[in-house]
Amino acid sequence: MYCEKLITLRRNHGLTQQQLADALMLSQSMISKIERGITRLDPLLAIRFADFYNVSLDYLFGRSEKQLQISEKDIAKLSEQDKNEMLAMIIKLINDKK
């Protein structure tokens, strides 16, 4: 269920419920109710959570266990050499599929 995913994502990002509430412009009690399954996520709020955590809705709702997106912060941590090596791997994979 998405409740557990939301708790895990929040904790993995090192956020308190209040910090998350502030970031999403919600109340801490609303975050708590959503995480406990008392309040259901409406589609627009689900999108806000997915965008904030940089995950797909499929991941959030358990349809996929893969977090497919990479954050810009993670990319920024890579050296230029690492970025070039990754680009070379992607190009090779694309060319191998032809």
Give the pLDDT confidence of 6-56 residue by residue, as tens digits: 999 999 999 999 999 999 999 999 999 999 999 988 899 999 999 999 888
The pLDDT of residue 66 is 59
- Dihedral over Cα of 75, 78, 82, 83: its sign: positive
> Which of 66, 62, 5 lies closest to 35, judged by CA?
5
In CATH, the architecture of 1-67 is Orthogonal Bundle (1.10)
pTM for the model stands at 0.64
